[in-house]
């Protein structure tokens, strides 16, 4: 059980993060000082440096935390469905991520004001490919279960993420190259094409009828 000192320390860190989130959604990062953050959080300025190097460090923490929330919510929605087709599962998940960005104005403000779509995408991709969630490995397992084999599954998965990030995030914020709902059909068609053309037939021992699950063990 955490001690009172540990609880107080965790509360101060939480307050700093909440204060930074509120400030960074209203102001550009260069217009926010550490004193602004600590005053809003109700802690001494020196306390800030117990947890973060500078205001960019806490901004990066916020972006990483928000990208993880988006990913976990997309996984939760995916788990509610019994997908037996690899392309449908991947398109569904990408669509869930995009829909969360569209429907989360505070997150969009945070990203837009701090010019951090690239940073958001970087954290999202690293969590999916190399983090503790490691969707790339699970993607490979599902592909084999659905009868597909990819020689370099992480590269295929990264290509899909890069395609999504480079086109759709700008589309959400700037409506370029077109509004997101116009871009989505072309994006999903391109994702299906990548998955189809890069795939080879999987070994016969894999069950082609297995459904998508993040709870199934990985081998």
Per-residue pLDDT band for 214 (boundaries 50, 70, 90) equals very low
Residue 149 parent element (H or E): strand 148-149
| Ranges 92-96, 139-143, 209-213: which has the least confidence | 209-213
Over residues 107-155, the pLDDT tens digits come to 777 776 655 566 666 667 676 666 566 677 777 887 887 888 888 888 8
What pTM value is reported for the model?
0.76
Letter string b/e over residues 166-178, b meaning 16 or more CB atoms within 10 A of that residue's CB = ebbbebbeeeeee
Per CATH, which fold does 1-52 belong to? Arc Repressor Mutant, subunit A (1.10.10)
Residue 213: phi and psi, rounded to 5, are -150, 135
Where in the chain are the domains? Answer: 1-52, 55-201
Number of CB atoms found within 10 A of residue 87's CB: 18
What is the predicted pLDDT for the residue at 201? 63
The model's confidence at residue 218, banded by pLDDT at 50, 70 and 90, is very low
The answer to whether 110 and 62 have CB atoms below 8 angstroms apart is yes
């Amino acid at each position: 059980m955490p001690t009172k000192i540990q609880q107080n320390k965790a509360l101060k860190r939480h307050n700093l993060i909440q204060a930074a989130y509120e400030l960074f959604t209203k102001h550009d990062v260069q217009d926010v000082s550490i004193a602004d953050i600590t005053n809003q959080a109700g802690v001494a300025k020196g306390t800030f440096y117990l947890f973060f190097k500078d205001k960019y460090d806490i901004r990066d923490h916020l972006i990483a935390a928000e990208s993880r929330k988006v990913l976990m919510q997309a996984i939760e929605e995916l788990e509610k469905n019994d997908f037996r087709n690899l392309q449908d599962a991947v398109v569904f998940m990408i669509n869930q991520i995009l829909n969360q960005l569209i429907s989360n104005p505070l997150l969009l403000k945070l990203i837009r004001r701090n010019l951090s779509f690239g940073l958001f995408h970087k954290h999202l991709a690293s969590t999916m490919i190399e983090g503790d969630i490691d969707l790339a490995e699970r993607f490979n397992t599902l592909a084999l279960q659905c009868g597909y084999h990819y020689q370099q599954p992480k590269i295929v998965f990264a290509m899909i993420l890069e395609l999504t990030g480079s086109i759709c995030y700008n589309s959400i914020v700037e409506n370029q190259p077109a509004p997101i709902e116009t871009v989505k059909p072309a994006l999903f068609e391109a994702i299906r094409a990548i998955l189809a053309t890069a795939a080879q037939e999987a070994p016969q021992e894999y069950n082609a009828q297995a459904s998508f699950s993040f709870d199934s063990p990985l081998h």
